[in-house]
Chain A
Amino acid sequence: MDNEIAVSIKNVSKDFKFSQNRVDSLKGLFVQPFQSTKNRKSEIQHALQDITFEVKRGEFFGIVGRNGSGKSTLLKIIAGIYQPTEGTAKVNGRLVPFIELGVGFNPELTGKENVYLNGALMGFSAKEIDAMYNDIVSFAELEEFMDQKLKNYSSGMQVRLAFSVATRAKAEVLLIDEVLAVGDADFQRKCFDYFKKLKKNKTTVIFVSHDMNAVREFCDRAILIDNNKMVEIGRTDYIARRYSELFIEIDQSVARTSKGDENRWGIGGVTTDGVKISTTKDRIKINYTINADIRIDKIIYGLHISGPDGQEITATNNTMIHQPPIEHLSPGMVYGVEWDIMNIFNDGTYAVSLTLVDGAGRVFDWYDSAGAFTIKRSDRSTTAVLPPMTVSTRLVR
């Protein structure tokens, strides 16, 4: 295999057989041959059909799809847990899967014993764990608890311990399931910090998720799976958009917001309106309203700013900057939103895109270039931003 390729999946299909009366007892073995074949039908479920893609070394690669689309099966095939019915799955280098945190954790063992057990399953010898044991414990902040049985730990403590071991994984390819990033906000931040570190270190990561924000934030490329088939592969932005479109078919009762508007798409029901942008020397204020035609909970509102050359400068939402979502909307409700941004922008015109999504990744209104603002200034930088700064010189010698 080409050395630049970390994972190569070729024409992989996976069938699961569910025989309705499988021979799994001795009686069955004797009785079954005498039964008519009509009663012996087995159902074949095509969990995956003809999946082909390659992940390059150092890439952060996403596998995206709805629940039941087959992405977890694909993950298990890459991990070698399941064998493909057809096709080949090749991994170049040592692979560590995180399908769950704390694999092998046993409640009857102490925290310390579990670290060694879990570490061994990740491929660490007892000696290697000895060397990093103190770091693992202090990162988990569980110094006083390591000699207690795991069953006396709170679930938060267990997760902390498991995560602390997991971040030590030495692998050429890491498989990460989305379930890792569940937990409180603090833990999620820790997870994302870890992902950032992986990205910085150019570790090859395959990340399975339906959290589009996380996929957008970390993945270079992604593959979209739906109904057990590969729908699309490509750059994350594109895949994220295609993913959201999957939900349009479901919510056909809701009119699409953006007839004929190429900049705007989504399933509608909750829309952005009345965008006003004002700029001063120090601040940029973006005001708009969120109008609801449907009953919906927990709307996440996002903001993207792109520079004069079209490059995205910032992309965030209320969750990422620790602001609450809009808890509840019902038909007729209007919410006002104001983004207040420090003016650190360079000379030029900036496009503002506004998004409305929910926790499940459904896009209600994705409004590209909903507004724009222009900054005129004489001090310049060669990039899109110029934070307030001064500079001075003095003679040293």
Chain B
Amino acid sequence: MNSILVKLRQRYTYSLIILKQLIITDFKLRYKGSALGYVWTLLKPLSLFAVMYVVFVHFLKFGAGIPHFEVQLLLGVVLWNYFSEVTMSGITAIVGKGDLMRKLYFPRYVIVLAGSFSALINLAINLLIVGVLIVINGVDIGPRAILIIPIIMELFVFALALAFLLSALYVKLRDLNYIWELVLQVGFYATPIFYPLSMVAKVSEDIVKIMMLNPITQMIQDARYALISADVPTLWGLFSPHSYIRIVPFLIIGLLLWSSIVYFKRQSPSFAEEI
């Protein structure tokens, strides 16, 4: 029994050491040789935000009458950006490290996990910018802001589960990255990022309900609720009296996590020879 514990500790010590080094290396390599370096991490979501702001908020008057809609827009962009970064880099994570995997055995999940943590660092920096905008905009931030922590955790798990599944699938199915790019493109418009849900509600309440079952929509709306405005429509205000339906987004995440772990575990022993 004792030796099992020792072995378990040894195993995870090794994983932890590698995980740390992979994250550090990724961080160092990411913008090596580029003039602006790490600033690019901020520029990407910020430029997207700027375009959206000018086109949709300024010209098309999206979100008119909604308090601090520009902050909501930035928060949505930042969260979506994290999601797309984790899943897109997750797809090629395993295949990209093929050379290393053919020469050394180490727990394969570490590679995917490392990419996820790297993106988390970027998310933290981006959220700081959101914080700055919150202050500038004079958002009345309250104690419910603490809710952002479980929401980020949920987002982390959801994106990671997808990254595991996609990385393992990509070993066998090499046009998955194009498919996923497509999914993300559609997903970006299907998620209320640059338009408020109230605009959709004017067309149909049912569509809002369906959209809200998408975990990403649920998380973005909850995050807006936590940080910006209590008036934001969330999953929790819908589906009464059938409130049990609210479990659907979490069920999706749970099922996805379970199936991705099972699939990844089953496939990972043969990664080295199949890549």
- Chain A interface (Cβ < 8 Å from any Cβ of B): 16, 23-27, 29, 76, 79-83, 94, 97, 99-100, 103-104, 106, 108-109, 113, 116-117, 120-121, 123-126
- A80 surroundings in chain B (CB, below 8 A): 105
Beta-carbon contacts under 8 Å, B234-255 to A: none
* Contact between B25 and A103, CB atoms less than 8 A apart: no
B265 within 8 A of A: no
| Complex A-B: 23 CB contacts under 8 Å | A23-B172, A24-B172, A25-B174, A26-B173, A26-B175, A26-B179, A79-B104, A80-B105, A81-B101, A81-B103, A81-B105, A82-B273, A97-B104, A99-B102, A104-B104, A109-B25, A113-B28, A116-B21, A120-B17, A121-B100, A123-B13, A124-B17, A125-B17
Closest to B32 in A: A108
Total contacts A-B at CB 8 Å: 74
Whether A121 lies near B175 (C-beta < 8 A) is: no
- Which residues of A are found within 8 Å of B36, using beta-carbon distances? none
A25-B173, A113-B25 are contacts. A121–B20 as well, Cβ < 8 Å?
no
Main secondary structure of the interface of B (DSSP, over half): helix
Evaluate contact between B103 and A103: CB separation under 8 angstroms. yes
How many Å lie between the Cα of A54 and that of B178 in the bound state?
Answer: 48
Closest Cβ of chain B: how far from A301's Cβ, in Å? 37
Q: Which residues of A contact B273 (CB under 8 A)?
A: 16, 82
Interface centre among B21, B24, B28, B173 (most CB of A within 10 A): B21
A9 to chain B, nearest CB (A): 16
| Neighbouring A residues of B151 by C-beta, 8 Å | none
- Asked whether, in the complex, the Cβ of B103 is within 8 Å of the Cβ of A120, the reply is no
Instruction: List, in ascending order, chain A residues with CB within 8 A of B272's CB.
Output: 76, 81-82
Could you say which of B17, B18, B174, B270 contacts A83, with CB atoms under 8 Å apart?
B270
Tell me the dominant secondary structure on chain A's binding face. loop
B14 within 8 A of A: yes
B8 on interface, CB distance cutoff 8 Å: no
- 13 new A-B contacts, CB < 8 A, other than A76-B272, A104-B104, A120-B21, are A23-B172, A24-B173, A79-B104, A81-B102, A81-B105, A97-B103, A99-B103, A100-B103, A109-B28, A120-B20, A121-B100, A121-B104, A123-B14
Residues from chain A with a CB closer than 8 A to the CB of B33 are 108
CA gap between A76 and B10 in the complex, in Å: 21
**A29 cross-chain contacts in B, Cβ below 8 A:** 173
Question: In the docked arrangement, what's the CA distance between A120 and B19, Å?
Answer: 9
Separation of A104 and B174 alpha carbons in the complex (Å): 24
Across the interface, which residues of A come within 8 angstroms of B106, CB to CB?
121
Minimum distance in angstroms from B265 CB to a CB of chain A: 13
A97-B105 Cα distance, complex, nearest whole Å: 8
Binary CB contact string for chain B from 129 to 142 against chain A (1 if under 8 A, 0 otherwise): 00000000000000
- Given known pairs A24-B173, A99-B104, the reply for A123 and B28 (CB within 8 Å) is no
Please state if B29 and A108 are interface contacts (CB–CB under 8 Å). yes
Q: Assess A83 versus B269: contact at CB under 8 Å? Given A25-B174, A117-B21.
A: yes
Contact of B25 with A106 in the complex, beta carbons under 8 Å: yes
Complex formed: what's the CA distance from A27 to B178 in Å? Answer: 13
Rounded to whole angstroms, the CA-CA distance of A100 and B104 in the bound complex is: 9
Q: How far is the CB of A1 from chain B (nearest CB, A)?
A: 12
